[in-house]
Amino acid sequence: SQTIHQWPATLVQPVGSPLSLECTVEGTSNPNLYWYRQAAGRGLQLLFYSVGIGQISSEVPQNLSASRPQDRQFILSSKKLLLSDSGFYLCAWSRGHEQYFGPGTRLTVT
Amino acid sequence: QQQVKQSPQSLIVQKGGISIINCAYENTAFDYFPWYQQFPGKGPALLIAIRPDVSEKKEGRFTISFNKSAKQFSLHIMDSQPGDSATYFCAASRPEGTYKYIFGTGTRLKVLA
């Protein structure tokens, strides 16, 4: 069966500090991968998606970036965090229409 | 044309009652319509999904009703239980290799014991 992991689970970072969130998927190959952000009490905003290694598409201009160094690894990064980057970050994978979400990372920028 | 409009924003239902959440879309190219359930602090979980060639799909207490001509679909939760209290999101995706979703804004459901 397939499993998706995200870490860390929670993170508190000061404004201006760098960020690296990691997502890995087990039990499948060549999945589509997605990064979403969810503000408190709000909906899901698609940030990036990837259909293969090194292939990244950005949905929303911002100071975040994503990379896919391996088939089942997806990384979300920032060089300098802003207060507005606070939120719940979710990674998801799919092999077709069905998307499966990870447990999420709660990021608080102080 | 890319939006999915979800209503109501919040819903309170008595235990044993029927919870109904509605979504409407405009883009007729959408061909897959999932519903997700999200508990606080957790990632959304796929609940049930439907394709536009089917008018209804039932899984246990959860039913999707789909009206292609009206471009609307709804989630019905029969015999609602306090454990169903969560936020529900509808979504739609197009038949392309990225399978990107357009999500509704969510409905916070509270089932009273």
Q: Do B98 and A57 touch (CB under 8 A)?
A: yes
For residue A18, pLDDT beyond 90:
yes
Task: Judge contact between B98 and A49, C-beta under 8 A.
Answer: yes
User: What's the pLDDT at B96?
Assistant: 76
Using a pLDDT cut of 70, give the percent of chain B over it: 99
Does residue B97 register a pLDDT over 80?
A: no
Mean local confidence (pLDDT), A91-104? 94
Residue range B94-108: average pLDDT?
Answer: 87
Structure tokens at A84: 């507005």
Domain extent at residue B87: 4-106
Residue B113 lies in a domain: no
Express each pLDDT in A67-94 by its tens digit: 999 999 999 999 999 999 999 999 999 9
Q: What is the mean pLDDT of residues B7-29?
A: 96
* Residues of A engaging B, defined by a Cβ cutoff of 8 Å: 32, 34, 42-44, 46, 49, 51, 57, 90, 92, 94, 96-104, 106
pLDDT attached to residue B47:
97
Q: With an 8 Å Cβ cutoff, are B105 and A43 in contact?
A: yes
In which residue are the tokens 């804004």 written?
Answer: B105
Q: What is the 3-state secondary structure (H, E, C) of A26-89?
A: ECCCCCEEEEEEECCCCCEEEEEEEEECCEEEECCCCCEEEEEEECCEEEEEECCCCHHHCEEE
What domains, with CATH codes, occur in chain A? 3-109 (2.60.40.10)
Q: Which pLDDT score is estimated for B1?
A: 60
Does residue B30 lie in a domain region?
A: yes
Confidence of residue B35 (pLDDT cuts 50, 70, 90): very high
Q: Do B43 and A103 touch (CB under 8 A)?
A: yes
Confidence of residue A96 (pLDDT cuts 50, 70, 90): confident
Whether B34 maps to a domain, the answer reads: yes
Number of domains in chain B: 1
Q: In this structure, what is the dihedral angle of CA atoms B3, B64, B45, A45, given to the nearest 10 degrees?
A: 0
Q: Has residue B98 been placed in a domain?
A: yes
In a domain, B24, yes or no: yes
